[in-house]
Structure 1
Amino acid sequence: MMTSEYDFLKKFLKSRSGLVLSDEKQYLVESRLMPVARRHNLNGLSELILAISKPGSMMLQSDVVEAMTTNESFFFRDKSPFENFRKVMLPHLLEARKSRRSARIWCAAASTGQEPYSLSMYLKEDKAKVGGFRFEILGTDISNEVLEKARTGIYSQFEVQRGLPIQMLLKYFSQQGELWQMAPEIRAMVQWRKLNLLENFSHLGEFDIIFCRNVLIYFDQQTKIDVLNRIYRQLPDDGFLVLGAAETVVGLTDSFEPYPDLRGVYRKKQAASRPAGSTNRPERPSAKPSTSRSSIQALAGGSRF
């Protein structure tokens, strides 16, 4: 691949997905995009690069972006975010939202679905505590391929062995040959939607918890700042933002601060002085005023316990 061709691909991928590639990643580009070129009957990467620069190549452009997207995920990944959800975030919501008895959770860059399904299983496990509450869980990703897998809830033996307790495997999955499928009642708790974090997502409405883990690390600093500032507007004053273990808001925005004693969890700085469980707007609808409640429910579903 010529230097000019690689430079074009780097600019293309950054503009379309936020992915920033260093010069030494050329081998990775070649290994991931050659199958895409063959699938589209193109003779190598030079023809592929020429093709994506032409009008009417949206399908090929999408395939290129999906091929370069890292889709690493597994159940209860890093453990602590899910323990924090169960021990701190969930009790807070049950108290702070007890009048409206509903809460919304967004898993951004959810890949093949293990993160939102992990949250769903915990909610099922805590059914006695959350009785009568409606939880809307939305999983989004830029890749159609991983979203389709997430919807089916079908995983390999290797995938269910990564982080998933055996008790939950037996309780919430059914075996289909060498594969395992998530139980229908767990799959029904999550709605899926294709979404590019570089684009406007204000139409999704307000969320009480936003998981945006292990995706900012692929963006440059300005893109990280932009995404975090827009996430800020999607959270209520007492909402939670959960980032990956290698991610931080430090040096990017003053709008968030670390939640005390919760690694990787952040809150709005303006909410820091209020007692736990309090909020200036407890009864505010979960969607923005311009988005109807019925449209939000159609988008994000919801399970009542």
Structure 2
Amino acid sequence: MSHPISIPQRNLGPFQVSALAFGCMNVCHAYGASPTTEAAVRLLQEALDAGVTHFDTAALYGFGESERLVGRALKSRRDQFVLASKGGMAGVTGEDGVTRRVIDGRPEAVRRNCEDSLRRLGLDVIDLYYLHRWDKSVPIEDTVGEMSRLVERGHVRTVGLSEVSAATLRKAHAVHPIAALQTEYSLWTRNPEIAVLDACRELGVAFVAFSPLGRGFLSGKIGGAEVAAFDAKDIRRSMPRFTAEHYAANEKLLPAYQALAREAGCTPAQLALAWLLQKSEHIIPLFGTTSLDHTLENLGAAQVKLSADLVARLEDLINQKTVMGGRYNEQNNREVDTEVF
């Protein structure tokens, strides 16, 4: 059992949670071979032991497997953590027996997704329920209206949005208070700085930053050889920044980045997380890993303090102008509603 680490607390709607959150996608899919069920359950329990009090899952992850793992690992300690899950994008099995990812924001679909999630989790209520993707064929007001009814029925406590723009956030917030907005944000993905970070601050919405380590890039632990050897099912294979050409260019940023980490007295992963933690009190970095060692390393970022000069050099080194390739391919770009540079 890990000893709890001293982690600052941040506001997430009505909740106080650890300033660093644990993302539960990696425990069942996305980045190649998944851990065994026993190893995944043990990792989730160890993260809670170490001081993490905010866990984030979704109906989509492993087509429900992540939620089943979270329920199995943590439901006996339900009063010790805040749980987030997501609907509006889930696996749907067709007549051919194949399960495919479907974005569906119709009220009846969101209601069904939530009920399915509760069943897999083995719980009565989800603390924070996100719309995983806005279905652009359905007005955001209609989808969030149904999510507000989930609150009224006691199925969820608060409502969140994922990968939406400031304008969409404002429309949704006018229907029902939005507790959190979740979007990719890191040194190499700065799009939230266009508008949505400020909108969250203005509205009192927590900003949950997923992929804060640039899907592994900012950990300094994956070079071109590792990228070339990605598992066939690794989702990074479809991401432009990880093509051979773009990654070769991006990799050239790492020596100077690693030197800044040494100057700060921390690991490259901790540098990326500390940068986010210092940006604003309303930002909660959400990391994912299959390793307890990496979990403990990441949590150590809460103790790292960066000078203004080092932050300026860091932001000069890695930003939207120095990173090659988009964060998503064309299909994924069409599915999100985020601002772009």
Q: TM-score, normalised by structure 1?
A: 0.32
User: Highest Rg: 1 or 2?
Assistant: 1
Q: TM-score, normalised by structure 2?
A: 0.29
